[in-house]
Structure formats: C-alpha cells, structure tokens
Amino acid sequence: MRKVYLDHNATTPVSPIVLEAMLPYLKDIYGNPSSIHEFGRIARKAVEEARAEVASLINAKDAQEIVFTGSGTEADNFAIKGIAHALKNKGNHIITSCIEHHAVLNVCKFLEKEGTRVTYLPVDNNGIVDINELKKSITDKTILISIMLANNEVGTIEPIEEIASIAKEKGIILHTDAVQAAGKLPIDVQKIGVDLLSMSAHKIYGPKGIGALYIKKGIKITPLISGGHHERNRRAGTENVAGIAGFGKAAYLAEKELSRESPYLVGLRDYLHEGIKKKIQEIRLNGDPKKRLPNTLNISFKYLEGESIILNLDLEGVAVSTGSACTSGSLEPSHVLVAMGLDAVDAQGSVRFSLGHDNKKEDIDYVLEVLPPIIDRLRKMSPLYKEKK
Ligand SMILES: *Cc1c(COP(=O)(O)O)cnc(C)c1O
C-alpha cells in the first residue's frame, strides 16, 4: 500500500544529509565541548558552527544570541518564565493570544498560579490576532508580549512586525514562537525587531529533542536550568552535540532551499485544496486564505468528526492529523478553531494536511482518490448529516 505522510507540522523525517552530519558526533567525536583538550575542541567547533547556521536562518546579528535548548517547548518555557522572573520587579502582566501552542499557553497558565496576570488576545475568523485589543490591554505592568509567528494548526501568519513596533514603542519585550515558521518563511529578527524567538529542529527535517531560543543581545533573562556554565550561563547541561550539529545542518539546508521549496509546497497544497473542493461538498478552509504557511491546509468536513476521518485515512496509508499532535486522543474541539469562532460542528470535523518537500503530486492524487469515498461513507453514518437532510 502507498504510504503518504502529510503530518509535517507534527514532525518531519530527518533529512539524510542531516543524519550524515550527526553521525560523527555519535561515534568518533565524543569529546565534551567544555573540555579544553583536542577532543573537546573538536566538539566545540561543531557546536559553534551549528550556532552560526541557526543564527543565519533568522538573520541574528551575532551567533551568541542563539541558545540551544532541549526542544521548542523548552525554548518557549525559557523565554516566558525567564522574562517573568527577570522582570518581576518591573511588572507582572503578560499578553499572549488564545491560539498559541500549548508550550506557550500552559506556561502562562502556570505563571497565573504564581500571581502573574495574563491577557489572552482574541483572533478573527482567519486566526489573526486583534491588534486593537493588544493596544488596549497594555498597562504599565506589562513586561512581555508572546505571539506566535505562524500557527501550527491552521498555518495563519501573525502580523508580527506590527506587533513588534507596538512593543518597541511601549518598551515591552516581544517573544515569538517561530517553531512552525522557521525554515518555511524568510525570517529576519533584526528587521522584525523581535527580542526572543523559539525554534525546533524536528520541524525542519532535523532531529527531535533539540531546539533554540534567540535572545537579542542585551535582553536580561533568568535561566530555566541551573548548573554549569554552558551556553554562556544561560542553559546548563552538557550540549547535545549530535543534535546541535543536526540542527545546524537542517537550518543551513532550510535557508538554502527556502525560495525553491516554498512555491513548490504552495503549488502542491493548492492542488490538494482544489481537488478536495471539486470532489467533496460542504467543506470549509480554516486559516487565512493568503497569510498562511506554504505547506498547511486545514479543512473542516461538515457533519463529521476529524478523528474518524484520520483513522480511515490511516487505514489507506495516509497520515494526517486534527489540530495538533498534543490534543489528539482528547475529543475536545481545538482551542484554535474555537477561538476563530467556528461552531462545534465545523471545529469537530477539521483535518490538518501539512505537506513536506518529499511529497509528490502522485501522493496528492492518491489522497484525492481515497478521501472522497471515506467522507461519503462517514457522512452516510453521521446523525448530524441525516438530521440536516
Ligand atoms: C512543535 C511546536 C512546538 C513544540 O516544539 P517541540 O520541539 O516539539 O517541543 C512549539 N510551538 C509550535 C508552534 C510548534 O509547532
């Protein structure tokens, strides 16, 4: 049976070139980058070269502004808890949005229990953050704004430059979760004017368990993890050298391929969308039709539950997901779709197709062949569908 992987926003396969770049550090080059002898120096060189590649992907001014972390989740935790701690004498108010990844939302929930005040900004029907609400919610106690660059479920790209200019004017630190955006959109932290930015290797064909936080020079932040002097005292723990080397190579490849890959993905994604529109009635595109990640297509199939579509596609060898990998298994509607104002019927029936550079037109043709009969069959069994008839 054909296998078609369309769940790249959950994770990506490790590129063979990335794997090659990692292998030496799992075999012969085993030195500790903190050691001063030759074994250590060789490992250190690999870490610093990778740091420069990751810095280049987002056009950071100085590679030392990149701190490696254990995941994108850790980068988000570090950014938000680190600023809340460092600036606790200045204020205790954070502004974020309703559609953030749980790595941001649950950090904010955690801080609320410790007395931090958090504003969760609403979004419009396309998932774009309400800028007027942002302006209104700023107080003299606001220390941090954390808004994602692009949403993982629907792909909507947020107006981060506009948000950055507001933050700058008010002297508030801005963090953006760019885990989905990095490698898919050109990012220039100097041009945007963002202070902190999270990334993760496994979303860009790198290994799992390695992320990074960009921390603009001069930003005071309290470390999340205490210990040795690693990462210039910002993240203790012996570096994941192989993971870092893989992240560096993945960042290099992403930057090199971006201008070619992006239109390719848009073409393939829109071909899938057109095909679905032609063959299946009563669907809805979720997310901004234009300001959207090139690889992401989130569709609601009315009267159905996303989970049953996913399971049936899985039986045909096609891997897709509902909103996010973290909420699958719970039958609660996605917090992102609810925030976008979808009713329960639309929110339940949503499926996310997230494409990657290995996908071919034949993969999409296969999906367009197996999907319509699944939707047809499920709708015939759906009480909601029968009710409506
Ligand atoms: C995947 C993801 C994360 C978490 O990254 P991990 O490396 O898996 O911990 C955070 N934010 C967004 C938007 C994501 O898509």
Residues 384, 286 share a domain:
yes
Q: Mean of the per-residue pLDDT values for the chain? A: 96
118-122, 226-230, 262-266: which has the minimum mean pLDDT?
226-230
Residue 63 marked in a binding site: no
pLDDT tens-digit readout, 11-61: 999 999 999 999 999 999 999 999 999 999 999 999 999 999 999 999 999
pLDDT tens-digit readout, 305-337: 999 999 999 999 999 998 644 444 556 789 999
Q: Which of 107, 104, 134, 103 is nearest to 119 (CA)?
A: 134
**Last residue in a domain, options 229, 254, 279:** 254
Residues 52, 109 share a domain:
yes
- The pLDDT score that the predictor gives to residue 274 is 98
* Ligand 1 within 6 A of CB of 200: yes
Is a pLDDT exceeding 70 seen at residue 203?
yes
Q: Which atom of ligand 1 is nearest to the CA of 201?
A: 7
98 among known catalytic residues: no
CA atoms of 142 and 224, how far apart (whole Å): 21
Residues 203, 57 share a domain:
yes
Cβ atoms 54, 66 nearer than 8 A: yes
Residues 286, 206 share a domain:
no
- The pLDDT score that the predictor gives to residue 10 is 97
Q: Which atom of ligand 1 is nearest to the CA of 71?
A: 7
CA atoms of 348 and 337, how far apart (whole Å): 9
pLDDT tens-digit readout, 342-375: 998 889 999 999 999 999 999 999 999 999 999 9
Between the CA of 285 and the centroid of ligand 1 the distance, in Å, is 23
Q: What's the distance, CA 166 to chain centroid?
A: 23
Residues 337, 323 share a domain:
yes
Segments forming the whole domain that contains residue 337? 4-11+258-388
* Residue of 326, 345, 368, 370 with catalytic role: 326
Q: Which of 4, 22, 15, 8 is nearest to 293 (CA)?
A: 8
Number of structural domains in the chain: 2
- The pLDDT score that the predictor gives to residue 382 is 87
* Ligand 1 within 6 A of CB of 33: no
37 is written with which tokens?
């002898």
Q: What is the average pLDDT across 55-76?
A: 98
- The pLDDT score that the predictor gives to residue 134 is 98
**Per-position b or e across 171-210, b if 16+ CB within 10 A of its CB:** ebbbbbbbbbbbbbeebebeebbbbbbbbbbbbbbbbebb
Residue 201 marked in a binding site: yes
Between the CA of 380 and the centroid of ligand 1 the distance, in Å, is 37
Q: What is the average pLDDT across 294-300?
A: 98
Between the CA of 259 and the centroid of ligand 1 the distance, in Å, is 23
Residues 311, 189 share a domain:
no
- The pLDDT score that the predictor gives to residue 329 is 52
Residue with tokens 């550090």: 25
**pTM for the full predicted model:** 0.96
Is a pLDDT exceeding 70 seen at residue 7?
yes
User: What percentage of the chain reaches a pLDDT higher than 90?
Assistant: 93
CATH code assigned at 124: 3.40.640.10
pLDDT tens-digit readout, 120-137: 999 999 999 999 999 999
Residues 183, 147 share a domain:
yes
187 is written with which tokens?
């990012």
Between the CA of 204 and the centroid of ligand 1 the distance, in Å, is 11
